[in-house]
Amino acid sequence: MKNTIDRIRHEPPKIRIGKNGITESIIKEIIVILKRDQIVKIKCLKVVPNESTKAIGENIAKLANGKIVDIRGKTFILISKNVHNE
């Protein structure tokens, strides 16, 4: 899993959270990506305050049955809770 996390850090985010915040369609999209790839990189856009990124990440993780494995600035990485650590 560590290699996968290192790899995804250098890829562009698959999901962007903007002024509309966390919507039902965003959660559905994250769930689909987590089922398919087991990992997703999400970025909060400039309109989201830096201090809100962790709270947003935790909320999304709860709603999408994921776990935060990395937060850097306005970007965070979620893995599926169904993934076992290597």
Per-residue pLDDT, averaged over 60-64, amounts to: 96
Domain ranges of the chain: 2-80
- pLDDT value of position 86: 43
Q: What is the mean pLDDT of the chain?
A: 91
pTM for the whole structure: 0.90
pLDDT tens column, 26-60: 999 999 999 999 999 999 999 888 888 999 999 99
**CA atoms of 30 and 65, how far apart (whole Å):** 10
Q: Is 78 strand, coil or helix?
A: strand
> Selecting from 2.10.109.10, 3.30.365.10, 3.40.50.300, 3.30.110.60, what CATH number does the domain 2-80 have?
3.30.110.60
Instruction: Report the 10 Å Cβ neighbour count for 20.
Output: 9
Strands of the 75-80 sheet, one edge to the other? 15-17, 39-44, 75-80, 66-72
**CA atoms of 10 and 36, how far apart (whole Å):** 19
* Residues in the chain, total: 86
**Residue % of the chain over a pLDDT of 70:** 95
